[in-house]
Amino acid sequence: MKRNRRSKYGFAAVLLSLTLLLSACSGGSTPASTNGNANSASGGNQVEESQPAERVLTDSLGHEMKVPANPERIIASYLEDHLVALGVKPAAQWSVAEGKTVQNYLQYELKDVPTIPFELPYEAVMSFDPDLILIDSAEMVAGDKYEQYSKIAPTYAVGTEQNNDWRGELLAVGEVLNKAEEAKKALADYDVKAQEAKEKLQAAIGEKSAVVLWPLGKSTFVVHEKFSSGDVLYRDLGMKVPAIVQEIAASATANWNEISAEKLAELDADYIFIVSSAVPLEELLADPIWAGLPAVKNGQIYEFDNESSWLYTGVIANGKIIDDVLDSILK
């Protein structure tokens, strides 16, 4: 049984996280232009045409705006996975619990980046003097929020409704940041990694089912078949979807959905992955329902805490999930 070190943040941070996750240059010899965007080349008569200072873009909500060609102070709450994958460090990073809880799996790259509350208060956004604001979805700019943010800096909404297409997000962020090719390469590299992992799993265990569960107090949540780590397990790694997961996902829209004790007792997954549990694993397994699950009886239950990436999504988060699955099953 694989056990990862438990996070010290406590239940309050997990509950707040649940609130969010449930719902989850070219050079040349062209003469100088009249707009002053070309500079004389030193030591000759040729000049180099510089990149334009701004680009005109239209976001997913139809807002047209001018954005810096190379923004330097970006606020992109909950889109940091994409930024890091593209080699970009934001001005501030997503957090809950008064900045105490962040996306831990990104902290090697973001450890020195200050935090900002996930709901992006105007005053907090203004304090970082951003030159570009990237918004995850329309939900974050409901009402007059878009107008208020756009007064601070160019504000680009990446998604329309609740945004669960991390691949589309990555490509969209790449376009906005003038890093379209880097985004395509990051996605292609991920797809290669996922395919290789899928082949390793199938060679080792054949067609087996798996499930991701998030115990939280007296409730347990199961990941959606098509979202978050469910997308990694079932789409990318080709593991079978348990019937109970299919049943719950058929009418659910959130990344994580509560599973009743009755349905939990029927869960026949070959492998169980426990993430960010607010309940000690020993306590869970003392419950007759949990103790009776096939995966538990076979010792095929694995736990990952808040230091892991299982509650998040993106090319980096999902890549780490793939590593965790391989390390657990193929150990």
pLDDT tier, 326 (very low <50, low <70, confident <90, very high otherwise): very high
Q: Rounded distance, CA 124 to CA 117, Å?
A: 8
- At 19-52, the pLDDT tens digits run 444 544 333 333 333 333 333 334 444 444 566 7
Give the CA radius of gyration of the chain: 23
Q: Which residues pair with 155 in a beta bridge?
A: 133
Whether the pLDDT of residue 261 is over 80: the answer is yes
Q: What is the pLDDT of residue 163?
A: 60
Q: Rounded distance, CA 95 to CA 100, Å?
A: 7
Tell me the two tokens of residue 234: 């079932």
* Of residues 137 and 203, more confidently modeled: 203
pLDDT tier, 271 (very low <50, low <70, confident <90, very high otherwise): very high
What share of the chain has pLDDT > 90, as a percent?
76
- At 70-90, the pLDDT tens digits run 999 999 999 999 999 999 999
CATH level 2 (architecture), domain 190-329: 3-Layer(aba) Sandwich (3.40)
- Could you tell me if 192 and 234 are in contact, meaning their C-beta atoms sit under 8 angstroms apart? no
In the chain, the amino acid numbered 82 is H
Taking 3-state DSSP, the helix, strand and coil percentages for the chain, each rounded to the nearest 5, stand at 40, 20, 40
- Could you tell me if 247 and 266 are in contact, meaning their C-beta atoms sit under 8 angstroms apart? no
pLDDT, average across residues 191-213: 97
CATH class of residue range 50-178: alpha beta
pLDDT tier, 8 (very low <50, low <70, confident <90, very high otherwise): very low
Q: What is the pLDDT of residue 32?
A: 32
Tell me the two tokens of residue 224: 């959606």
Domain boundaries, the chain: 50-178, 190-329
Question: What is the CA angle 213-317-220, rounded to 5?
Answer: 15
DSSP class of 219: E
* Of residues 176 and 5, more confidently modeled: 176
Q: Rounded distance, CA 11 to CA 96, Å?
A: 12
Question: Which of 308, 238, 243, 247 has its CA nearest to residue 273?
Answer: 308
Q: Which of 113-117, 217-221, 314-318 has the lowest mean pLDDT?
A: 217-221
- Could you tell me if 254 and 224 are in contact, meaning their C-beta atoms sit under 8 angstroms apart? yes
pLDDT tier, 159 (very low <50, low <70, confident <90, very high otherwise): confident
Tell me the H-state helices in the chain.
Answer: 11-22, 80-85, 107-110, 122-127, 145-152, 166-176, 180-205, 228-230, 243-249, 261-265, 281-286, 288-291, 294-297, 315-329
Q: What is the pLDDT of residue 160?
A: 76
Name the one residue in this structure whose structure tokens are 């979202």.
Answer: 227
Whether the pLDDT of residue 307 is over 50: the answer is yes
DSSP class of 136: S
- At 105-147, the pLDDT tens digits run 999 999 999 999 999 999 999 999 999 999 998 888 989 999 9
Q: Rounded distance, CA 52 to CA 55, Å?
A: 7
- What mean pLDDT is reported for the chain? 87
Question: Are 50-178 and 190-329 in the same CATH fold?
Answer: yes
DSSP class of 104: G
Q: Rounded distance, CA 250 to CA 225, Å?
A: 9
What share of the chain has pLDDT > 70, as a percent?
83
Give every CB contact of residue 37 below 8 A, 6+ residues apart in sequence: 49, 50, 52, 53
pLDDT tier, 14 (very low <50, low <70, confident <90, very high otherwise): very low
What is the model's pTM?
A: 0.85
